[in-house]
Amino acid sequence: MSAVSRSYNPFDEDEEETRGGGEVCGAERQRYLQQEVLRRSVATADSTARSLSLLYESERIGVAASEELIRQGEALKRTEQMVDKMDQDLKTSQRHINSIKSVFGGLVNYFKAKPPESKPEQNGMPEYYGNSRLKEAVMSSKDQDSKFQESHPNLRRLDNSDSDFSNIDSISSVQRDACPKNQCLQAYHKKIDNNLDEMSSGLSRLKNLALGLQTEIEEQDDMLDRLTKKVEILDVGIKSTDKKIRQL
């Protein structure tokens, strides 16, 4: 009995319990870290998806602004052509007035002269596309629009309920039980990489839209300056013609 007492160590059980408890704590901590890594991956995928959706919406706004600017350019071109036609008609009227004011023989010759052939009016105005850079940027964004909606049907609107990753806790718990080790994490990392690649392409298209818009605005500014000068010249001509008519 004394031998048993001498060989008995009262701390052996504590050491065994400590070792067992340490293993349990280590396993729990490992599971917690795995869940935390997966949770952060889901959150990152969610964030990049929303950023991609915002970028997509910005691109749609850029396309709409570009199309409106092109329509404005078409209206300016049509106005400039109308002013040019008015200027030609005014010059023709001035020639007629000068003929009427000439001597009687000149007046007779005027009425006997063959009337100038009038050019047939065009049925439609030439279509206005804007500058080539803006046209290409708009076409590229429109082409990408359909592809985006096909690959991201849930990101058509900025709605939390439509997100692929709207419920992080439930997704992580399901994935933790159903997916083999590391496969879920790899899937989310792949999703993040794909979103980042699409964001990079989207930013490039937005840049092209911005440059095209800048070029179009500069060209339309030049058109407005040219149109303003033509209108001023036309106004002077109209006043001069009106004065000549009053003197007849």
* pLDDT of the residue at 161: 40
* pLDDT of the residue at 210: 93
Query: Which residues, other chains included, contact 21 with Cβ-Cβ below 8 Å and sequence gap of 6+?
Result: none
* pLDDT of the residue at 193: 92
First to last CA, the chain: 149
Mean pLDDT for the stretch of residues 117-123: 48
* pLDDT of the residue at 72: 93
pLDDT > 70? residue 13: no
* pLDDT of the residue at 4: 47
* pLDDT of the residue at 214: 93
pLDDT tens readout for residues 189-238: 899 999 999 999 999 999 999 999 999 999 999 999 999 999 999 999 88
pLDDT tens readout for residues 122-136: 444 555 667 888 888
* pLDDT of the residue at 103: 52
pLDDT tens readout for residues 56-98: 999 999 999 999 999 999 999 999 999 999 999 998 888 887 7
What sign does the dihedral 205-192-43-173 (CA atoms) show? positive
For the chain, what is the mean pLDDT?
A: 76
Q: Where are the domains of the chain?
A: 42-112+128-246
Mean pLDDT for the stretch of residues 40-56: 91
Comparing CA positions, the residue from 221, 198, 209 lying closest to residue 148 is: 198
pLDDT tens readout for residues 141-184: 888 877 777 666 665 444 444 444 444 444 445 444 555 557 88
What sign does the dihedral 122-123-129-132 (CA atoms) show? negative
pLDDT > 80? residue 19: no
Query: Which residues, other chains included, contact 134 with Cβ-Cβ below 8 Å and sequence gap of 6+?
Result: 66, 69, 70, 209, 212, 213, 215, 216
